[in-house]
Structure 1
């Protein structure tokens, strides 16, 4: 996994996600996403639930017990709920000791650095999903996509995916695709409408 400290990258990823979540209008919550099994509300629940999971892991708890949620958040409360969870994540991972300590995440027991890098990939990918769903209201940080794509290529090689892999098979990215589009394609996602 990435040898660098993923905390500054994760922090930037949470800032980007928070800014995008602030743009979500209640009338967009039932709209489609590149995650075909999610509408926007379910995707937001997945983002918040995944963030809560890595917060619990960072606190030394069982993150596998955390499940995504969407039904109990009011239409206009997503910004507040996400801000609370992301603050908790950043606090949970503030100690340098967390980077080397083994933690348990859905893909196994790994050092904290590897776990948090995986959640950068997750968050950045789902931020693209949300941006795509909302019609790209904000410009996304290409450096975050580069970190996420490097991580994705390392931990999710194309020929080793099976039904247990939480991402679909690799799709071909169009020639000249930006890093977010390459990341989306590597994780089996296609834009909602052709470019």
Structure 2
């Protein structure tokens, strides 16, 4: 079984390919997260990656989570954040301590799982919102779905994190079942 760090690497790569394919005219398109457009969701992801990397390395992220991290070049902003994020997770002992998140402190392995969820799910969201669904990898989405189904996920369904499960066909691709389980309404995508 691959380590959670390897899974984060794979999610960063998949999402990076999706971000590279987002044209400027798609940044204003509606995202799967209610009330957000593609730019807002991508900015949230990049900000989260920067904050996670700073928390893991004990450094200053350079801004708050929802500040404007994208500037004029969203793809470059994502690439920078992904590099910092990857380096932070690959530090020796990255999973050994605790990580302070907006809702509290969690163990290193739980922080890694939360971060994997963020990168993989927002990557899939962005792919569907920008017509790049073919770039979503179903294997890691299926693995993550299995993990989330096997835990008490209601603690993460707080307002602002995840909504109640949405319907998805049993034979839908894993990424669609994962997104629906996390509360994404896929009826428009």
The answer, yes or no, to whether TM exceeds 0.5 is yes
Q: 12, 37, 40: which one pairs with 2:38? A: 40
* Aligned-pair Cα RMSD in Å: 2.4
Change (3 A) 1:162 1:135: closer
1:132 corresponding residue in structure 2: 128
- Secondary structure of the residue that 1:171 maps to in structure 2? coil
Per the alignment, residue 185 of structure 2 pairs with: 190
Describe how 1:94-173 pairs up with structure 2 within 5 A.
94-136=90-132, 138-154=134-150, 157-158=153-154, 163-164=158-159, 166-173=161-168
Q: What's the counterpart of residue 75 of structure 2? A: 79
Aligned to 2:55: 57
May I ask how many residue pairs the two structures share in their alignment?
188
Match of 1:11 in 2: 9
Q: Aligned pair 1:28/2:23, yes or no?
A: no
Q: Secondary structure at the match of 2:165?
A: coil
Structure 1 residues 3-31: Cα deviation after superposition (integer angstroms, max 9, x where no partner): 96311110111111111101111111111
Q: Give distance in 1, aligned partners of 2:114 and 2:22.
A: 25
Change (3 A) 1:166 1:180: same
- Closer/same/farther in 2, CA of residues 115 and 4 from structure 1, 3 Å limit: farther
2: CA distance between counterparts of 1:101 and 1:71? 27
Q: Which runs of 5+ in 2 are unaligned?
A: none
In structure 1, distance between residues paired with 2:89 and 2:173? 30
**Mapped contact 2:11–2:119 kept (Cα < 8 A):** yes
* Offset at residue 126 of structure 1 (A): 0.7
Structure 2 contact 30–36 (Cα < 8 Å) conserved: yes
Residue aligned with 1:27, SS: helix
Normalized against structure 2, the TM-score is what? 0.87
